[in-house]
Amino acid sequence: MSSATLTPSLHDRFVHLAYDPGVSPKGGGLPGLDVLRSIVNSLNLFGIVAVVGALAVSLGVWAWGHHSGGHQAEATGKKGAVVSAGAALGLGAANGIVAFFSALGSQVH
């Protein structure tokens, strides 16, 4: 028996890597899924409310810095407003982003 027959060929290695374990998301598989969804929905709502507060404070700092001549406060207010808007976008689109990439990932074979 030669050593070439004991080592797997390159083709065999790729076939092993391409093995489909048959795992896919399934609703209702574990108890407590509804509770987990409720918790995540509540966290998302809490985040959105916090972003509204952060946006209000940032806009106030921006306005105060502009009218008082405080360029550092104005710049900080602008940054806070942009970050708050980005956070609101991310929180609002979180479900869609995850669904998009999950569907995209399920197409990989």
Taking only the tens place, the pLDDT of each residue in 6-58 is: 566 776 666 666 666 677 777 777 788 889 999 999 999 999 999 999 999 99
Taking only the tens place, the pLDDT of each residue in 53-73 is: 999 999 999 999 999 999 999
**Is the dihedral angle over the CA atoms 94, 97, 100, 106 positive or is it negative?**
negative
pLDDT value, residue 13 = 64
The residues spanned by each domain of the chain are: 33-109
C-alpha–C-alpha distance, residues 104 and 102, integer Å:
5
State mean pLDDT over 100-106: 89
pLDDT value, residue 80 = 97
> How many other CB atoms are there within 10 angstroms of residue 61's CB atom?
20
